[in-house]
Chain A
Amino acid sequence: AQTVTQSQPEMSVQEAETVTLSCTYDTSESDYYLFWYKQPPSRQMILVIRQEAYKQQNATENRFSVNFQKAAKSFSLKISDSQLGDAAMYFCAYRSKLTGANSKLTFGKGITLSVRP
C-alpha cells in the first residue's frame, strides 16, 4: 500500500517571501501521479499542481513549483512571492497509474500554512 507523509504540521511565511512544504511518499510502483491540494478555511479542496512520475521535469504553475526527487521519493512544493490568500492547509496526495487500479487519492496529514503580513 502507498503512504504519504507530511511531517511538518505547521509553517509560517512572511508575505512576498518563498516557502517550501515537504512531502515524502512510499510506493513500489514505478509510474504514478503526485498532487498538491490546497484547502482554505472554507474547506473547498483545490488542486494546486500535479506531477507525473515518468516526467523528469518539475511541474510549475505560476508561483507554485515542485521539486520532485523520484529516487528519494520526495515531492516538495515551493510557493514564491507568498500572498495572504495562500494561507490554507496543503495536502500532498498520491494516485496510482496502474491499469485497473481505482483512481483514489491517498493523502498526507496536511500542513497548515500561515502568511504573515
Chain B
Amino acid sequence: AQSVAQPEDQVNVAEGNPLTVKCTYSVSGNPYLFWYVQYPNRGLQFLLKYITGDNLVKGSYGFEAEFNKSQTSFHLKKPSALVSDSALYFCAVRDMGTYKYIFGTGTRLKVLA
C-alpha cells in the first residue's frame, strides 16, 4: 500500500534561515508526490508536485522540493523562511491504481521572528 511519513511533528526555524520539512514515501511503481499547506481554519492549498523529470521541483511562494529516489524522500525546502510561512504542511502521494491521495500526518512549521 502507498504511504507517506512525516517524521517531524513540528519544525522551528528563525526568519531568514533556510527551512526543510521532511517527507518519505513508500509506493509501488513511480511515485506521484505532492506538498500542501494549511493555514489556520482554512482548507489545504497546493504548493508543488513531482511527477517525473527534474528532481528539484519549484512551487508556489518560493518553495521547492527535492525528489530522491534512492532515499525515497521528497523534502520541502525554502532558502529563506518568512514568518508568514508558519503553517501546517502536508506531504501526499497519489495511488495511481485507485486515484486515492494518501496524506502524511502533517508538520507544523513555526518561523520565529
Partners in one complex: no
